Amino acid sequence: ALAMVLVMGLIVVLRYAFQVGSIALQESVMYLNALIFTFGAAYTLKQQGHVRVDVFYNRLSPRARGLIDLLGTGIFLSLTAGFIIWASWDYVAVSWRIREGSAESSGLPYVYLLKASLLVLPLLLIIQGIAEAMKSLQQILGTAATNDASNSPGAE
């Protein structure tokens, strides 16, 4: 995100201070935004940051929360990730086959790499979803480790 802010700042300085525009720099902001979103989605899942109705969820027992998380991961996440892969596969394949570049003559020539993030996103979500499903199973079975200070790696 910092790189995106710095590039955007550079674009503004070049445009208004030196009257120089750069399509490649503008496209790089779009590429960076896509990469942040692609890698951020799985990280957000790991951090329990996606939308959930916490009003009801927090009132449930740990077992019930584990069951809801397992069902959510197993049904909704896997179906969504599968749909994204299915819907974007041909789109990405054609882009790779023709080594698609920018529509602008001075743009970045790697649009096919950017479009590949459409497949990376659901794959990362599936991988993190598997980890979350395993945690949910542990919670359902009552074998989940507690997060108190005595169980942390640095505790003595």
Residue type, 83: F
Residue 153 placed within a domain: no
Do 46 and 94 contact (CB within 8 A), yes or no?
no
Residue 95 placed within a domain: yes
Predicted pLDDT at 57: 84
pLDDT tens-digit series, residues 17-76: 999 999 999 999 999 999 999 889 999 989 988 877 777 888 889 999 999 999 988 899
pLDDT of 2 above 70: yes
Predicted pLDDT at 144: 64
Residue 31 placed within a domain: yes
Residue 129 placed within a domain: yes
Q: Rounded CA gap, 78 and 75, in Å?
A: 6
Residue 100 placed within a domain: yes
Predicted pLDDT at 89: 98
Predicted pLDDT at 131: 94
CB under 8 Å to 61, separation ≥6 — which residues?
Answer: none
Do 3 and 11 contact (CB within 8 A), yes or no?
no
